[in-house]
Structure 1
Amino acid sequence: MSLTAGEVRKLKVAREVPPYGYFLSDGMSDVLLHYSEIVGDRPKPGDEVSVFIYHDTEDRLAATMKTPLIRLGELARLRVADVHPRLGCFLEMGLGRQLLLPQSELPERREYRPQPGDELFVMLTHDKAGRLLAKLAREEDLAPKTFAVPAAWRGRWIEGWVTKTLQIGSFVLIDGDVVGFGAYGMIPDAERSRTLRLGERVQARITYIRPDGRANLAMAPRKEVARVEDADRILAFLRERPSGSMPYSDETPADIIKQKFGISKSAFKRALGKLMREGRVTQQGSWTYLSDNDAADGDGKDKPDGGHGREAAANPANPPQPANPLKE
């Protein structure tokens, strides 16, 4: 049986070759175990040692007694150590050397690509020359190791890693913790608060458990909680403005709301509706104004106009008109 990179083999110490290390043999081939790759006491000729086979920097087969994070044909989650703009991602594999995930395995859209510190589920394989190479784990590789999401997890906040990200949404492998390897989930595009990268660790809430045991996820809190948080954000924004008003309302396009407040238009309308029912804001056309009572609770005394700007803003016949809402 020939020596193959990526495998763990038990080999016999054939001889010592100072100042390099030991030659190990399977009876057919020899491979060098460098002194720096020895773990524990140095072996003696005739001893049998368990080693991982890899290629050194000169593409020669070599051996190490260090334990790799992944073996040939296995699946593992590896951390991105570095990203090369043309070659791909270099992954930590636990040996003091890095494993290449080729550029061809990465998403075409750059904003979806991993960054250092992200973690990817990969399989260990060979390139055409027999050297070690990583490839992204596919659904068929991950599925046998996953478990169905328990019904009791509905509404729970979970952590997981993005395994694929598309325009329609991002697929996530939920951290199984003590339950097991992990479970499958998906964050639909409408439930993503931002663009997610392949390998990024995310927090999300389980909104629905499908009959097949997979989960629908959302990055935002429940609507009741989010409505309060969004309303507070809008109120703070209005109070910071000298006029106590803003050129945003139910009529504002969704992309502008998303860019300015980081929330969807539907969430914006829910938050405004809450504030209007409470009598804290009013709307006139495309403008929203603090009510007199709520404006009095703000910091009007510190505003450049001494608070008179709110009086002008309260008159919809003559509101301040910015050139571009996004520059506000």
Structure 2
Amino acid sequence: MKELGLISNLPINRFTDFGAYLALSSGEEVLLPKGYLLGDEKEGEEIAVFVYTDSEDRPVAVTESPKALLDEFAVLEVKEVASFGAFLDWGLPKDLFVPKAEMGQNMVAGKKYLVKVCVDFQTNRLIGVNKYRDFLSPAPEDFGFGTEVSGLVFDKTDLGYKVLIEDKYEGLVFSNEVFQPIEIGELRKFYVKKRRDDGKVDLQLLPPGRVKYDEGSELILSILEEKGFMPLHDKSAPELIQKELGMSKKHFKQCIGQLYKAGKIRIQVDGIAINSTN
């Protein structure tokens, strides 16, 4: 079934008390349950659906979209762990199953892991594969310093944050070079710092030539670059500054002083703002 794991526009063949049967390219049919119908559909009308298998491994169509389609990577949270595998939340009524044999590590309920959606050809159902390195390649030799890449943050280790680069390569941002919030599962821009001999890539958050300030200043600047304004100033309560930024009022004042002298921010009566001219 070539529609398995994908979003397809399928025509309605016929209606039943259970829903509508849609025509597959093979000539077979797949059920779209009644709960996904608006009630004004007609035979022959095409509906965009995602096709997977239900709890009894029967093909079923839904109008919801999962967090990852067939052959795509995603960072998903484990809902339940059993002796034979784990069940991950991928945004559909039926969880994505990761067999024990396809785990690269022991999974823990409540934690997030990088998986790739694949077809188990023995059962013809969709599964998650956590052994992500089986699908990756060494970064090309010309992956030079300063190259801008898109990366999915998928794990935090003692060294730093692991990043899946463009669904092909593995990268790392060292913890001591992180000066702004990073979330597991976040997709963001990175810059190549170095291609290692093993084909993995050291990454950095800042583009080449960008002045790096101290950790607190980088945090404030990253928030202002995203939001433009922050309602904190030198008269703000120390408790509020600690809650919002995790730093003391003294450190906050030192940081905004550094950024102000560098021309990066404007200090206003009601807070601080990014200086768009810099």
Secondary structure (helix, strand or coil) at the match of 1:96 reads coil
Q: 1:184 is matched with which residue: 170, 181, 184?
A: 170
Which residue of structure 2 lines up, in the alignment, with residue 209 of structure 1? 194
Pairing 1:277-292 to 2, within 5 Å after superposition: none
CA contact (8 A) 1:148 1:214 kept: no
Q: Structure 1 residue 136 and structure 2 residue 130: aligned?
A: yes
Which residue of structure 1 lines up, in the alignment, with residue 155 of structure 2? 162
CA contact (8 A) 1:77 1:122 kept: yes
Could you tell me how far apart the structure 1 residues matched to 2:43 and 2:66 are? 25
Secondary structure (helix, strand or coil) at the match of 2:20 reads strand
Could you tell me how far apart the structure 2 residues matched to 1:147 and 1:12 are? 47
Could you tell me how far apart the structure 1 residues matched to 2:145 and 2:114 are? 27
Which residue of structure 2 lines up, in the alignment, with residue 173 of structure 1? 163
Structure with more strand by fraction = 2
CA contact (8 A) 1:32 1:62 kept: yes
Counterpart of 1:184, as a letter, is E
Could you tell me how far apart the structure 2 residues matched to 1:6 and 1:122 are? 12
Displacement after TM superposition at 1:86 (Å): 0.6
Which residue of structure 2 lines up, in the alignment, with residue 55 of structure 1? 53
Which residue of structure 2 lines up, in the alignment, with residue 103 of structure 1? 100
CA contact (8 A) 1:14 1:25 kept: yes
**Pair 1:7–1:126, CA change in 2 (3 A):** farther
Counterpart of 2:50, as a letter, is F
Displacement after TM superposition at 1:102 (Å): 1.0
Counterpart of 2:63, as a letter, is M
Displacement after TM superposition at 1:11 (Å): 2.2
CA contact (8 A) 2:55 2:94 kept: no
* Greater CA drift, 58-67 or 135-144: 135-144
Could you tell me how far apart the structure 2 residues matched to 1:48 and 1:215 are? 45
Structure with more helix by fraction = 1
Which residue of structure 1 lines up, in the alignment, with residue 36 of structure 2? 37
CA contact (8 A) 1:172 1:187 kept: yes
Counterpart of 1:125, as a letter, is V
**Pair 1:88–1:146, CA change in 2 (3 A):** farther
Which residue of structure 2 lines up, in the alignment, with residue 68 of structure 1? 66
Counterpart of 2:123, as a letter, is A
TM-score, normalised by the number of residues in structure 1: 0.45
**Pair 1:181–1:159, CA change in 2 (3 A):** closer
Could you tell me how far apart the structure 1 residues matched to 2:13 and 2:51 are? 16
Rg larger for:
1
**Pair 1:68–1:147, CA change in 2 (3 A):** farther
Q: 1:88 is matched with which residue: 85, 90, 100?
A: 85
Output one character per residue of 1:73-120: Cα deviation in whole Å (capped at 9) or x when no partner. Answer: x22213123231312221222223211011112246x5xx44423131
Which blocks of at least 5 consecutive residues in structure 2 are unaligned?
177-183, 204-213, 215-278
**Pair 1:85–1:47, CA change in 2 (3 A):** closer
Output one character per residue of 1:172-200: Cα deviation in whole Å (capped at 9) or x when no partner. Answer: 226x7xxx668633589xx99xxxxxxx7
Report the identity percentage. Answer: 22
**Pair 1:146–1:85, CA change in 2 (3 A):** farther
Counterpart of 1:161, as a letter, is F
Counterpart of 1:102, as a letter, is P
